[in-house]
Amino acid sequence: MIGYEWPMPGLRMAMAAACVAVVTGCSAAVDPPDLTLPLDAYSLGAKDRAQVIRARFMLMEECMRHVGIDFRLPAVEPVTDLRNVDLLRWLDPRHSAESGYLGERRNPDEMTGIPSYSVTDEEFYVLEGKVRRFHGRTVPPGGCMAKADALLNRGARGVGPADAGKRFDDDEVPRYVDSATDLALEDPRIAAAEREWSDCMRSEGFDYRSTDQALGDPRWASTVNDDSIGHTPKPRGTRAEIDTAVADARCRAETGYSDVRRTVFVEAERRVIDRNRARLGVVEALNQARLANSAKVLDGTLTLSW
């Protein structure tokens, strides 16, 4: 028997990892600038998203029991998606003064809000619809995940049967965000903002070519070796790290670093939206239907039929 760790899709993790320490503290006394981006409109907020996932999990469990598998999914709590802080590279000056680049551990489920879970071979085949029958019982087309999503998708305005009747793609909007990120990072204004920031840092006595270099300074940046047995963790929140982070936050603010990035990312995301407006309209309609139907599932007024 093989246990599958169910990796939920999400925005390119490399960027999140590179900026992990920058993000914590966004709820501190220093208010961040406007971090909203156009593609945010096509994703549910943390609370609504958690409601939909709870209903989805409930339906998946019911479907699995119907085919003879006692399958339990993890509890679901609202998870705030901080990807825009990563994309726009906002650095909280108060948190920098307290802890440098050291941030609290990011929730690995934040991109989709779906907690990871493990499944056996048999569970995987039934969830994904890789088999038509299980111990003599019919497995719904597309599996129990598609069965659950088809009910949640019901009634989505302007959505055809092909989209309404299949598993919801949680990674679709993050893929559009990735596409917009690729466009944004090609914009010369991004490189110009890095150079201006670097000049500011040099005037403060720090020699870094980019914000990534400051965050990734080997004196404090975590590496794979930091988790190895017998390895002594690097000291964090040192005077050197805090001084660097404070100067970094100040230079980002003085040069309008995050504002430039937001301008570029807004333009890039709007271009992606213009190219995919019809498809994103489907996603939006599905989100609205799924939110409404999830409330009915959770209160017992909407159930699976067989």
Question: What are the residue ranges spanned by the domains of the chain?
Answer: 4-218+237-298
pLDDT attached to residue 135: 93
d(CA 211, CA 207): 11
232 confidence band (pLDDT: 50, 70, 90):
confident
The pLDDT tens digits of the residues spanning 89-112 come to 999 999 999 999 987 667 788 888
Res 227: pLDDT: 63
Where is average pLDDT lowest: 6-10, 156-160, 256-260, 292-296? 6-10
Query: Quick one: pLDDT at residue 234?
Result: 85
Q: How large is the average pLDDT for residues 253-274?
A: 97
Please state the rounded mean pLDDT for residues 7-34: 47
Please check the confidence at residue 13 and state whether its pLDDT lies above 60: no
Q: Residue 19: pLDDT above 50? A: no
Q: Mean pLDDT throughout 237-243?
A: 96
What's the whole-number average pLDDT of the chain? Answer: 89
| Overall average pLDDT of the 255-276 stretch | 98
Question: How do residues 134-149 score in pLDDT, each as one tens digit?
Answer: 999 999 999 999 999 9
What is the pLDDT at residue 12?
A: 44
Q: Rounded to whole angstroms, how far apart are CA atoms 273 and 96?
A: 35
Mean pLDDT of 222-240: 79
> What pLDDT score does 103 carry?
74
Average pLDDT for 229-248 = 89
Q: Identify the H or E element spanning 134.
A: strand 133-134
Instruction: Give the up-direction half-sphere exposure of residue 124: CA atoms within 13 A in the CB hemisphere.
Output: 12
Mean pLDDT, range 289-302, rounded to an integer: 98
Between residues 3 and 287, the one the model is more confident about: 287
**How much is the pLDDT for 62?**
97
8 A C-beta contact, residue 201 and residue 208: yes
Contact 246, 93 (CB under 8 A): yes
User: Which is nearest to 98 in space by CA: 248, 245, 226, 218?
Assistant: 245
**pLDDT > 70 in the chain, percent:** 87
**In the structure, what pLDDT confidence band is assigned to residue 231 with cuts at 50, 70 and 90?**
confident
Q: Which of 261, 278, 283 is nearest to 183 (CA)?
A: 261
**Dihedrals φ, ψ of 202, to 5°?**
-60, -40
Does 29 score more than 50 pLDDT? no
Higher-scoring residue by pLDDT: 170, 30: 170
Query: Cα(162)–Cα(165) distance, rounded to whole angstroms?
Result: 6
Give the range among 41-45, 145-149, 226-230 with minimum mean pLDDT: 226-230
Q: Which residue bears the tokens 């403060």? A: 204
pLDDT of residue 228: 67
User: Beta strands of 38-123 (E only): which ranges?
Assistant: 117-119
Q: Is the pLDDT of residue 255 over 90?
A: yes
Average pLDDT of the residues in 103-129: 89
Report pTM: 0.85
The Cα–Cα gap between 92 and 35 comes to: 13
